[in-house]
A and B are shown apart, each in its own frame.
Chain A
Amino acid sequence: MARRAERLALPVGVVATFAILLVVFYYPVGSVLVAAVVRGGRLTLGPLADVLGDPFYTGMLAGTVRDPFGVPAGLGGWVRAGFPSVEFGLFGFTAWQAALSTVASVLVGLPGAYLLARYEFVGRRTLRSLTIVPFVLPSIMVAVGFLAMFGRNGLLNDLLSIVGLGPVGGVLFTLKAVVLAHAFYNAPLVTRLVTTAWESVDARRVESARSLGASRLRAFRDVVLPELVPAVLTAALLTFVFTFLSFPIVLALGGLQLATVEVWLYARVQDLALGEAATLGTIETVLSLSLTYLYLRYEARQVRSRGTTTLSRHRLSIGWRTLRDPVRVGLFAYGIVVVILFVGPLASMVVESLTGSGGLTTANYAFLARQQAATAVGTIRPLPAVRNSLLFGLGTLLLAVPMGVVVSVLAARGGRGSRIAETLMSAPLAVSGVVVGLGMLQTLVFGTTVAGHRLVASGPVAIVLAHAVAAYPFVSRNVTPALSGIDSRLLDSARSLGASRLRVLVDVELPLVAAAVLAGAAFAFAISIGEFDSTVLLSQGVNTYTMPVALERYIGNRSVGPSLGPATAMGTVLLLVTAASFLVIDRLGGRWQP
């Protein structure tokens, strides 16, 4: 009986994962995207052609859609005109800023991974846990922090003027600010994914390479680098897709002048031009899913070894000699960059919550206390928001980790066609948040009539399901590469000794990839804590608001005037609660590690 259950566990997990995806993701998203290809009940490519043939969207590529045969002549004209600059429209600009953002995120993130994986210093584990915090911060808070840090009267300029370096202005509301903010969100992603990979490099392979006479550089290039590349590419791909779909950060720090496709899509939804919105959403989805597919094919060809011996770390501080070691001096300089880019905006937000028009004040925290004590209906109280956030986070964790592991098992051991299946199952990463939100609204929140009954899904269960769907791809992106690196002979021998597939997974594989599972779990929790759009849609009329929702509501509160003070106070609470949670997750996880 028990063996039967064990045999069934994985297939049941696969079916359950698909079922959740179907209800919370594919059905809602499908209901929106259908509008892009159906007009008046008939299939048509008209709307897609309209968008692709509109120079506003695709710049000079629009001509190639409308008149493919005119391309050679057009190219000739361009060459004769002396290669003038070329416009690629809204899509072109969106891809351009996403590329810049990806490069910036990788550049900022990689040294961090090197530092965390290869050096030992006081507070390393804490720092490693905290790298995920930027990920959960609501964009409006980050925008406020950036304004307070990099603005004309910002902290950076105050500090620079002390050193006599004069003010630097003109960063905000430019592409630079958007790229910086994207790096703020995504560089920690690069750091985390690459650190996890680096920490699971088999030290014995490096040692044998060295003992065979390879130089340190050579050993790094031949043994370590091949294992880091997939992690770097995963991070870069995710960053590109996220920043391609970027929306709130662009709106807050760039404004309409730097609009991306997603900003435009959101505006179309606000104007209820849902057909055009669906068309834009479809094109975005096709682009980002193709990228994901190409990447997954590449990743599958990578082979990663995995051992239980990890590389030993160097001491970061080696007394006075530290100052003469170029690498350590470089890491110190990197530390300064990190403080400016990451600590600066967060500290500025905290400072903002403690100051008012007349200097230091506790008024914003008094506001939170007043809200907590208030009796009026519709009041958003801070403590229930904290409680709900943590509960939903926990629920997401419990659901997303098994879902992610199931997908990883499929991906790591799958045969033909598993790349397509994996792409489809990773789709929540690659579909526009606005489209998902709209779909959820129209299907789950409004309800669907089935056999005369209106089925409506909202409240805590729906929210946790939605969070889990958004989060589990992060679990599988962490776990899949690790899992596929396990020596298959190990598994075969376990199976031949009579262990069921589930037993092998639980007793052999998962302990070997514990670090990756833990990293994925942290992501799942982080995504749930920071999630705003689907939470706010699915919590209608119920007491299910979370910290980001509370924060957004306090922004609109008029009792204290046009001030972000109360919201920054709530943002500080969010910062403290999440930082504490991640320290706990990593500590508990550390104990669980073999």
Chain B
Amino acid sequence: MKRRAFIRRAGGGAVGAALLAGCTSGDGSTNGSDSNGSATGGAGREGNTTGNTTATVGSAKTGGTLTVATYASFTGEDTAGAWLKSAFEKRHSNATVEFQVPENGVNQFVQRAQQGAPIDADLYVGLNTSELVRVRRQLDSPLFRSSGTVDGTDAIKQTLDVDPRGRAIPYDTGYITLVYDGTKVDEPRSFDALTKPRYANELITENAQQSDPGRAFLLWTVLAKGEDGYLDYWRDLLDNGVRVLADWEPAYQAFTDGEAPMVVSYSTDQVYYHDSKAQLRRHQVGFLDGQGYANPEAMAAFADAENPDLAREFMSFVLTDRAQSEIAVRNVQFPAVKGVSPGREFEKYAKEPPNPVTMSYDDLAGSVGGWVEDWSRLVASS
């Protein structure tokens, strides 16, 4: 990190470019099999960003350090991040992947941009759609660069298109659903059922202000009940004793401790709970109205990434079948790429909703802030 800051200070683009070119020239011919296209594809756009890394055009493989900012549970022992790092470094013998885990996620970089502080990272892994909307709303100049040609993007499931401007590329997705204890309640099959006395005081959800599943559930109710009807629906839910807890961990803990037999969670939860029939019955997945809300996770390269070519190669590596199934298993989320099979156990216990729904970037732009604000005021005053 220090070195990067020094290079930037010491003389801007020219010195940095020379240093980077020096780093990468030695390995130009090691391997040219799979990323030629992406390297040249990216080169065309370099001019309008920093204009200092085009030295790698034509070389088959880029090297150097790729700094990946992500969330905590993506790195460390047995995680998707740790696997990706070693597998990618094995392929690119002169590349090093470094992880950064900012406590406040992508906000860190928005604030850095607002304060004129250096970004110090090449790639962000772990963006969702409403975060992209927030980034756009906060900043005048783009935080992320358009990804350009990244191998493997054509195979991404169409429903997961998170970014009309093609900067963020989805790499996995979860489906938000209800998880219920089958020994205590019957499956609530619809949104309307949840407001019935039969399910009074039996549902726990999460705070949509800052929890991913909580926000997904709120957006799902907006889809189901409409922009004009969702607040009335929530009024009914609140009257029926729904609890809105801070985040997924306390909510799920309260569910497993028997505080309530239903919780808003992920449709992959049974992957953890199939050791016995009794466990399975206590962690049933319920799709309301046959739906589940898709919450894709995406990655994007920063506009002033020092190593955009390497970032692109990393992204296309993430989209390979092998990486996709490893990520799915280790992150317990569904692959973003069509036709990937993450293994029998995963496929047996991770449930996909019959009708996945989600809100696109355009659905959310300009609206999501107001929906969440109105909703949270309603809940907090109840």
Contact = CB atoms under 8 A, between A and B. Distances in A.
B272 A561 contact: yes
Given A173-B259, A562-B269, A541 B253 contact: no
B253 A376 contact: no
A256 B244 contact: yes
Interface string B236-255: 00100001111111101110
Contacts of B103: 536-537
B381 interface: yes
A446 B245 contact: no
A449 B117 CA distance: 9
Interface stretch (A2-10, A141-149, A473-481): A141-149
A357 B279 contact: yes
Given A153-B258, A376-B82, A540 B100 contact: yes
A380 B134 contact: no
Interface string B124-162: 000000000010001000000000000000000000000
Interface string A260-280: 000010110011100000000
Nearest to B98: A377
B73 interface: yes
Nearest to A264: B380
A379 interface: yes
A255 interface: yes
Nearest to B115: A446
A592 interface: no
B254 A172 contact: yes
B258 A557 contact: no
A376 B9 CA distance: 32
A573 interface: no
Interface string B317-356: 0000000000000111000000000000000000000000
A326 interface: no
Chain B CB within 10 Å, residue with most, of A271, A453, A454:
A271
B85 A256 contact: no
A321 interface: no
Contacts of A218: none
B259 A147 contact: yes
Highest count of chain B CB atoms <10 Å: which of A147, A252, A272, A442: A272
A140 B76 CA distance: 22
B111 A441 contact: yes
A447 interface: yes
Contact of A56 (B244, B252, B272, B381): B381
A370 interface: yes
Interface in A356-388: 357-358, 370-371, 374-380
Question: Chain A interface mostly helix, strand, loop or mixed?
Answer: loop
A151 B246 contact: no
A152 B181 CA distance: 15
Contacts of A271: 134, 209, 369, 372
B244 A374 contact: no
A442 B369 CA distance: 23
A428 to B, nearest CB: 20
Given A270-B107, A271-B209, A90 B380 contact: yes
A98 interface: no
B101 interface: yes
A377 B82 contact: yes
Contact of A376 (B1, B79, B112, B244): B79
B232 interface: no
B294 interface: no
A49 B331 CA distance: 46
Contact of B250 (A143, A442, A563): A143
Contact of B376 (A256, A379, A561): A256
B362 interface: no
Given A252-B246, A256-B376, A449-B116, 18 more contacts: A151-B259, A152-B257, A173-B254, A255-B243, A255-B246, A257-B243, A270-B209, A271-B369, A376-B79, A442-B111, A454-B9, A454-B117, A537-B103, A540-B100, A553-B76, A559-B77, A559-B78, A564-B249
9 contacts: A251-B245, A257-B244, A267-B209, A272-B111, A357-B279, A379-B77, A380-B76, A452-B9, A553-B73
